[in-house]
Amino acid sequence: MTPLTPPKAVEIVEVAPRDGFQSIRDPLPTADKQRCIQALIDAGITRMEIGSFVSPKAIPQMADTGELVAAFANRPGMRFSALVPNLKGAELALAQGVREVVYVVSVSESHNQSNVRRSVDESLADLARVVECLRQAGDACLRLDLGTSFDCPYEGRIAWTQVDAALDKALALCGDLELEVALCDTTGRATPYQVAEHFTRLRERHQRPSLRWAFHGHDTFGMGVANALFAIHHGATAVDAACGGLGGCPFAPGATGNTATEDLVYALQGGKVHTGIDLPLLLNAADLIAALPGGQTASHLREVPRERVS
């Protein structure tokens, strides 16, 4: 039995400004978002999905993403990304100054249809154009969010062959582009040993130096922290989380929040894993986020007396 030793460092990608704010029905005032984002930066967050470039009709909550990018993009040491569902979104993101584009495609047809209103093949065809666009931009990189990599709210458990089919095509399109692939447990239904097996298998299948792995999880089934740690042990160098456990997916019925950043940071801190994040300051940000009107948060750490969080 090999002891589970902690890695030296893990990159936390804070997704509350995208996955979280999008889950609040009434769009938040931009100033409220800015306060939360600033608090997250103050806490030491260095990677953040700041919003998405999507149709403001479909998701009005994200309509001010350009404004947020403009307000924060030039912070030193910060790496902001924005989610895009198509070429148009990618072009907008790049034009606004975003240097990391998160292209989302779900492995399951029905979730991709409800999430980005097109077939998986259409999404992949557009990915080719996004890659071309990024190559021309030169200084931008790509993150591929592979939605429903474990389970789909409509189709149930997803076979690995389905993930393989989508990822094989996507990687062929990306060539040697600097790329991070996130396996997304959109519904929170994945379990730790499945996450372990999935990452192990995919990393053996796709070995290339320009490829990095990430995990995006939800805590709906109570597996959030365990899944993230198992992903990290099997090669994920970045993990998504949402401060306050804010989140969900308007197109994934029943999904609750992303794994709370503070819960995950607490788990990692216990192994002296470097995240660069200050937990007390992160909890201040979580308090701000929890106070947002209409938000549903789910954080264990926020419920614990503050002096015990160390």
- Smaller CB distance to its own copies: residue 144 or 223? 223
- The reply to whether 175 sits near its own copies by the rule CB under 8 A is no
> Contact letters (x/-) for its own copies, 200-229, by CB under 8 A?
x------------------xxxxxxxx--x
**Distances from the Cα of 298 to the Cα of 60, 186, 222, 252, angstroms:** 24, 16, 11, 17
Write phi, then psi, for 166 (nearest 5 degrees). Answer: -70, -45
Cβ 300 to its own copies shortest distance, Å: 3
Can you read off the two tokens belonging to residue 215? 């995990």
- Going by C-alpha positions, the residue among 239, 180, 240, 190 that lies closest to residue 213 is 180
Q: Are strands 151-152 and 141-147 parallel, antiparallel or unpaired?
A: unpaired
Cβ 308 to its own copies shortest distance, Å: 7
Can you read off the two tokens belonging to residue 15? 């997704």
Amino acid at 3: P
| Residues in 179-198 at the binding interface with its own copies, rule: CB under 8 A | 187, 189-194, 196-197
| Residues in 220-279 at the binding interface with its own copies, rule: CB under 8 A | 220-226, 229-230, 233-235, 254, 256, 260, 263, 266-267, 269-273
- Going by C-alpha positions, the residue among 49, 53, 30, 27 that lies closest to residue 40 is 49
Separation between Cα atoms, residue 107 and residue 119, nearest integer Å: 10
Cβ 260 to its own copies shortest distance, Å: 7
- The reply to whether 4 sits near its own copies by the rule CB under 8 A is yes
Q: Which active-site residues does the annotation give?
A: 249
Interface with its own copies (CB under 8 A): 1-6, 187, 189-194, 196-197, 200, 219-226, 229-230, 233-235, 254, 256, 260, 263, 266-267, 269-273, 299-301, 303-305, 308
